[in-house]
Amino acid sequence: MLKTLFPTLGRVRFTVQILMLFLTVYGGALLGSYTVDRISQALPALSCAYDKMTGDHCILIVNQHQLHHRVGEALVKAQDITLKVFIPVAMSVGVFFMFFFLLNKAFCGWVCPLGTVQELLYRIGRRLGRPLNRLQPGNVGRVRPVKWLMLLVLVLALPTMAGMGVVSNELGDPFCQVCPSRIATTLLTADTEQIAVRTSTTVNFALGALGNAMFGFVVIAALAARQPFCRICPLLSWNALFQKLSPMRLVKKDAHEKCEKCGVCEKACPMDIHEIGTEFGKKAFHEDCTMCGRCAEYCPDDDVIQLKFFGFRLFGSSREHYKRRVRAETPEGAPKQRVIDVRVNKPKGENG
């Protein structure tokens, strides 16, 4: 029965994603208005506090508010840098880690509502026959640092500086103001407030304009590129800080001779992590990994790539699963029997 309903890991993940989409976007409406105060208030996924129906909200809004209202204010007063200031921050990070410990970055690949929305858009793009834009090894290195910059500037530095009075108070939660999840999740509840740009001050207007433009870009880009926002998401870098501390792991064999010629896992990876094909052992679990498990699903050899929890195998690659998977969908995510047009973004000077 379960095998019929969930023949592949991909089907399990898709089901979880849809359930989580409902919880993170409509959870308050389904489970009670105050659900948002009771689950974690520090979720390792972009579940948005601006969504009036959300069931929980992400750690980043909490971080920004605490740095703005507690740490920044306390630093400027140069007094009372005490437990009263740091305990709430430690509490948030602690609650976040309790959740993160269990699932690691699977929060990105299985729970995040914006991740799910982008995947759904990508599926639509496949149906519409749009090309697939991929980042090659030469290009991907240029994009990867952006997520750390986003974390450092928008989540950590500006809110703290706003609390200290160094920059405008409106920069208290700058990431939320540009986060596409804020607009996507509120629009999913038929709330148009967040897509309306704030016009009260220049800073508000600039942040709003940037946020809306980013949202528009992501919506269209997701039709022809996989997970465009995830690649620069500060929650991905925030989660990457903790990924080695969780017993949930993506594990690859230390060496496997067929990997050099195969590369299907690289094609299956929605984050263009080429290292999953070229590296082995711990190095294969890259900081950009969202633990979606597609590399393990599309690896045609037994147990080369596995998802493990405390060393126990939750899922491992197998020839049989691979055959079942490719019967329905290509590694790039196109429905089978459909020709997929792959456009390669190569560095300048390289021939196609």
Partner 1 sequence: MRMNLILMGALLAAATALAAPEGKPGGRPQMDMSGGHDHAAMMQGMGKTAAWTLYPTLKARMSGESRETMKTAIMPQNIVAAGIDAWSNNTKDDKAHRQLSIEMGGAMLDKPANGGFHWLAAREEQGDTVRVASTVYSFNERGARDPSAMFMQQKHELEIIPQPFPREHSRYRANEDWQFLLRFNGQPLPGQKVYLETSNGSMAEFVADVQGVVRVHVPDDFKPEEEMKDAGGHNHGMRRGADLVLATEYAAEGKTFLTAFNSSYGPNAFEKRSLAMGLGFTLLGMLGAAPLLRKRKTEPKSEEAGNA
Quote the least distance from Cβ 12 to partner 1, whole Å: 20
Range 101-120, binding partner 1 (CB under 8 A): none
What lies within 8 Å, CB to CB, of 349 at 6+ separation is none
Using an 8 Å Cβ cutoff, are 242 and 291 in contact? no
Near partner 1 by CB under 8 A: residue from 6, 7, 8, 88: 88
Nearer to partner 1, 122 or 238 (CB): 122
Q: How many residues lie near partner 1 (CB under 8 A)?
A: 70
Smallest gap from Cβ 237 to partner 1, in A, equals: 22
- Per-residue binding string, partner 1, 189-218, x by CB under 8 A, is ---xx-xxxxxx-------xx--xxxxxxx
- Whole-number Å distance between alpha carbons of 41 and 59: 7
Structure tokens at 314: 């939750």
In 3D space, the residue among 47, 243, 237 whose CA is nearest the CA of residue 146 turns out to be: 237
Q: Which residue is associated with the tokens 């976007």? A: 25
91 makes contact with partner 1 (CB under 8 A): yes
Please state the closest distance from residue 303 (CB atom) to partner 1, in A. Answer: 18
Question: Helix 9-31 crosses helix 180-188 at what angle (to 10 degrees)?
Answer: 70
* Non-local CB neighbours of 99 within 8 Å, separated by 6+ positions: 40, 42, 43, 44, 107
Here's the x/- map for partner 1, 298-337, by CB under 8 A: it reads as: x-x-------------------------x--xxxx-x-x-
Calpha distance 191→49 (Å, rounded) = 13
Minimum CB distance to partner 1, residue 107 (Å):
20
Q: What sign results for the dihedral spanned by CA atoms 170, 97, 245, 315?
A: negative
Q: Which is nearer to partner 1, 137 or 247 (CB)?
A: 137
Examine residue 37 and tell whether it contacts partner 1 (CB under 8 A): yes
Nearest CA to 291 out of 56, 35, 39, 106 is that of 106
Closest C-alpha among 304, 319, 302 to residue 250: 304
d(CA 272, CA 143): 11
Query: What's the closest the beta carbon of residue 97 comes to partner 1, in angstroms?
Result: 15
Tell me which residues in 249-308 interact with partner 1 (CB under 8 A). 262-264, 267, 298, 300
Q: Can residue 127 be called a binding residue for partner 1 (CB under 8 A)?
A: no
Chain residues binding partner 1 by CB under 8 A are: 28, 32-38, 41, 49, 52, 69, 80, 84, 88, 91-92, 95, 125, 130-131, 133, 169-170, 172, 183, 192-193, 195-200, 208-209, 212-221, 223-225, 228, 262-264, 267, 298, 300, 326, 329-332, 334, 336, 339-344, 352
